[in-house]
Structure 1
Amino acid sequence: MTAKNSVSKPATGTASPPAEVDVLIVGAGVSGISAACHLQQMHPQRTFALLEARNATGGTWDQFRYPGIRSDSDLQTFGYRFKPWTGNKSLAPGADILGYIREAADEHGLADHTWTSHRVDAADWSSEDLRWHVTVTNTETDTTFTVKATWLSTAAGFFSQDSAYIPDFPGRDDFKGTFLHPQFWPEDLDVRGKKVVVIGSGATAATLVPAIADDVEHVTMLQRSPGYILPFPDVDPIANGLRKAFGAKAGHAIARWKNIQLYVGMYRISQRYPGLARKFIRKLQESYLGADFDYDTHLTPRYNPWDQRMCLVPNGDFLKSVGAGKASIVTGHIDRITEKGILLKSGEELEADIIVSATGFDIQPFGNIRISVDGDAKPFGERISFRGMMLSDVPNFSYVIGYTTNSWTLKSDLVAEHVCRILTMLDEAGAVACVPRPPADMETEQFSPHFRPGYIERNVHLFPKQGDRAPWRSPVVYDEDVREMKYKPVVSRDLELLYRANALALGVDDKAEVSA
């Protein structure tokens, strides 16, 4: 698969989206495309618009261009449920994923509904007309206008497309070489024969290091503390065999189910038997680095496996680069940046021609859109997540924040399908809108208490809280979400319905005979 050219304007040639639609989707990346495709399949009669702030579709997979960019989840589960992944590689290059996303959009005719270079700045729910009034800016013409929508779906991710997180390193301005963040990798950057230091221990660093190791003089991954790095085959022979035996659609479905169970099983075993999981990971790493490597310092995190996202490296390429001496890991704290590189607090100095700050994201949940209800813009951190996809006291609104223990797209598909089920329920009930209302006696806690990488920990106050019971908790495991969002009734005592006749909130109790 190869990435197709994106459409900057709809095929109809209209300059602006419609003034009013049934569903407005914000973000034309993997989640936004999923939302639009599900809507096309399950509610073809509804009007919708897909708005993207950047000048191309594809989201992360169009923006990130650093060497080696790839998925850190297998494409059987990262791929859409409704569109088989037919590529040979399970951990695929970014360009292949971008092509796959755009193929899905093309197959569903989304060009006629998509407007790039259209940034959503604010959205206010009006209880008077039971509509969202959404403020949109065309960034090419710098004109602002309003689009009305019955349902607002945000699929803009949780980090800024325009900025990245870089710590305030002392002496950074003294450095004579090239300093950059991988989110904004220059196309003309030549790393050949250079000494490169990559600051960070996450998936970006583990991807970038082996991608440039053969070209540079040497590359060093500098980390304050280690994360789990797990070798994983980049080709899934079982999935490829299933497609040949049963066809693309059925083979994809079986392989997807198989890999979901694999990830869920790995997570549950790791949580129940963390010591056993640590030993298993160590054995895999030793097959690449031998028994004499200093694993305790460089590859043994303080937390248990799957307490944070596991970094999968295809065929152990990162470990191979370290084992071959082309790359190295240094664990320590930065004292300052110098003219020639990085001085550590230990006194060691790492010489560098290029420093890459793979230090995480600039967090902006929900695309940094100002969300208000009748003019009241309560911070997201003061609201509570409902089914991991809606917000307390906010009508007809959904969002996507993917899993840490499974592929992001699994959550995207669940949310997209559940929104369609809600729309069906509203139709059958004769209602226009629904709004989650939290129980008065419910206690809350901060977002994702079991997943706190640095970029989340610094910004946890920006995310909605979660409650002490379903459906106000946000499961971290896919199968728990499936039970809540796919198989349980949409109707809930905590989900009130709004009717156009009198614009009053009428509760739905346990005995309501509304199906979805």
Structure 2
Amino acid sequence: MNANILSGRQPARPVATEHFDVIIVGAGISGVGSAYHMRTQCPGKRFVVLESKDSFGGTWHTHRYPGVRSDSDLYTFGYRFKPWMGKPIATAEEILSYMAEVIEENDLAQHIRYRHRIDAASWSSAEGLWTLDTTRLESGERVRFTTNFLWMCQGYYRHDQGYLPEWTGMDNFKGPLIHAQTWPEELDVQGKRVVVIGSGATAATVVPGLARLGAKVTMLQRSPTYFISGRNANDLANELRRLEIDPMWIHAIIRKKVLMDGAIFARRSREEPEEVRKELLAGVRAQLGEDFELEPHFSPRYRPWQQRVAFIPDGDMFAEIREGNAIVVTDEIDRFVEDGVVLKSNEKLDADIVVAATGFQLSVLGDIPFSVDGQSLDFSKTVTYRGMMFTGVPNMVWVFGYFRASWTLRVDMVADFVCRLLKHMDATGAKQVTPQLREDEKDMPLSEWIDADNFNPGYLMRDIQLMPRSGNTREWQHTQDYWGEKDEFPEIDLTDGVFRYDANRPSGNA
């Protein structure tokens, strides 16, 4: 008699396996864009997009806090292949509608599998394949996928949990204490005293959003952020539309104009930081009036662009402050009490609701356990090739965008590279490609993923030790330099010794 029957155990069900030429992980702005390029540039390849959520959109699907919107203009945050027709700064709903059109117009829905969580990813050099063990979240069924090439587009932070510091007495507070990233849908803020902890782009969005819903809002910040305000309109785009110029031309022109203006601003922030600082503070004063005291609420300790400069469309946050619907307090939290927060200055902020707009938790390659030929893969022991590939890791690319320019610019750029690489491998018969340091680079000095003096947001600095390492040349860095990379990426020599094709190599980390 069968031993399983005697023991009362049911025999294990075989795990279904599907194979694809390429698997794209994530159906956010990166994954949908990458899927478009696969369909248009590599039409002969069979590919699938695996997404753990129940719909596309990534950030714009998971973030539900009041007023949620882009903090980059949509002429550059949108895709190069689809003109943006709305206002530069868009709501989450508008961005999702734009992405839905991309999916529908390019028949991408057939390639997306929702509610698939990746539990492990393993590479076998003998088979030349990645194996992904996944769970279908509706049924709990385990499903296995194999692929020749893995394209990671899952973003850089944990979508299901934001960063929440540990403050003394948090359990004492009797009202809701929520993180903006996990906003409860039925939260009623009308007439409530709401303390928003944070000062970045999320706080700058939540504060006016809550005020418009009738809340009495206090933005509590430990240190200020640089803000810049302007009309949520692009006069040049509107004029070109009035002249009935082809929308694709308008999109390309405005895209380049916005990028050039941004590059000039970033350069000036490095070369003449005090002058830029004065200009930014003058802009805030123009919004709040001569009598408003900028110190310490709007005068950051760091130079402009060491962290993101938050854009305030149509000055909406400043308008709520002027009208008395929101106030700004700069101090540190001493402790929570039943009905609010006590500050280090002993001032007490009364609160019915506390909202933490305190940033992200970094996620390196989706926190997925990776292995290469049976050895656990630690990405912090690898060196990044142009911020998208890693030494010792075969047939994989990660999309990690720009901090000072729109994320999506790099989506298009990396996609062009991946499609060119796949075609090159097909043409040469190569099944495996692994980045490697050249012989004269083996002793190259290594440093962190990004220089903290260049850019140092809290979410990155808290866990920078988890990220891959950088070298001392542009090839071995994520340079954050769009203007250089837009010319360098198309010229990458796929026959260079940095790419090892189908060769014996040490498995695991570099």
Q: TM-score band (shorter)?
A: over 0.9
**Map 1:68-467 → 2, pairs under 5 A:** 68-87=67-86, 89-244=87-242, 245-438=244-437, 439-449=441-451, 450-467=454-471
| TM-fit CA distance, 1:129 | 1.3
For structure 2, list consecutive stretches of 5 or more residues without a partner in the other structure: 1-14
Partner of 1:4: none
Q: Show structure 1 runs of 4+ deviating over 6 A.
A: none
Give the aligned partner of residue 481 of structure 1: 485
Contact 1:242 1:255 (C-alpha < 8 Å) held by counterparts:
no
- Looking at structure 1, the residues matched to 427 and 159 of structure 2 have their Cα atoms a distance apart, in angstroms, of 39
Per-residue deviation, 1:296: 2.8
Output the CA distance in 1 between the equivalents of 2:106 and 2:354. Answer: 42
- CA-CA distance at 1:119 after TM superposition: 0.9
Letter in 1 for 2:402: Y
Give 1:270's aligned amino acid.
Answer: S
AA paired with 1:201?
Answer: S
* 1:31-46 equivalence runs, <5 A: 31-46=30-45
State the Cα deviation string for residues 403-450 of structure 1 (Å, max 9, x = none). 110011111111112111111221232212211102302111112222
Q: For residue 487 of structure 1, report the CA deviation from its aligned partner.
A: 3.5
Q: Using the alignment, how far apart are the partners of 2:186 and 2:54 within structure 1? A: 21
Single out whichever of 75-84 and 181-190 deviates more from structure 2. 181-190
Deviations 1:253-296 (A, max 9, x none): 11111111111111011111111111111121111112332223
Q: For residues 50 and 162 of structure 1, do their structure 2 counterparts lie closer, same or farther at Cα, with a shift above 3 Å needed?
A: same
Shift of 1:323: 2.0
Distance 2:472 2:294 in 1: 38
Report SS of the residue matched to 1:287. helix
8 Å contact from structure 1 (residues 17, 115) kept in 2: no
SS in 2 for 1:298: coil
Distance, in Å, in 2 between the alignment partners of 1:215 and 1:161 is: 25
After superposition, give the CA deviation of every residue in 1:14-35 in whole Å (9 maximum; x if it has no partner).
xx99711110000001000011
- The 1:474/1:217 distance shift into structure 2, 3 A limit, reads closer
Q: Secondary structure at the match of 2:223?
A: coil
Secondary structure of the 1:266 match is helix
- 1:492: how far off? 2.6
For the 8 Å contact 2:369–2:377, the answer to whether it is kept is no
Q: Distance in 1 between matches of 2:418 and 2:239?
A: 34
Deviation (angstroms), 1:50: 0.4
8 Å Cα contact 2:160-2:182 kept in structure 1: no
User: Quick one: which amino acid aligns to residue 183 of structure 2?
Assistant: W
Whether the 8 Å contact between 1:198 and 1:358 is mirrored in structure 2 is: yes
Of the structure 1 ranges 345-354 and 121-130, higher mean CA displacement relative to structure 2 is found in 121-130
SS of 2:394's partner is: coil
What secondary structure, in the 3-state scheme, does the structure 1 residue paired with 2:220 have?
Answer: strand
Q: Percent identity?
A: 41
Unaligned stretches of 5+ in structure 1?
1-15, 507-516
Structure 1 length-normalised TM:
0.91
SS of equivalent residue, structure 1 residue 123:
strand
TM-score by length of 2: 0.92
CA distance in 1, matches of 2:406, 2:298: 23
2:36 match: secondary structure: helix
Deviation, structure 1 residue 217: 4.7
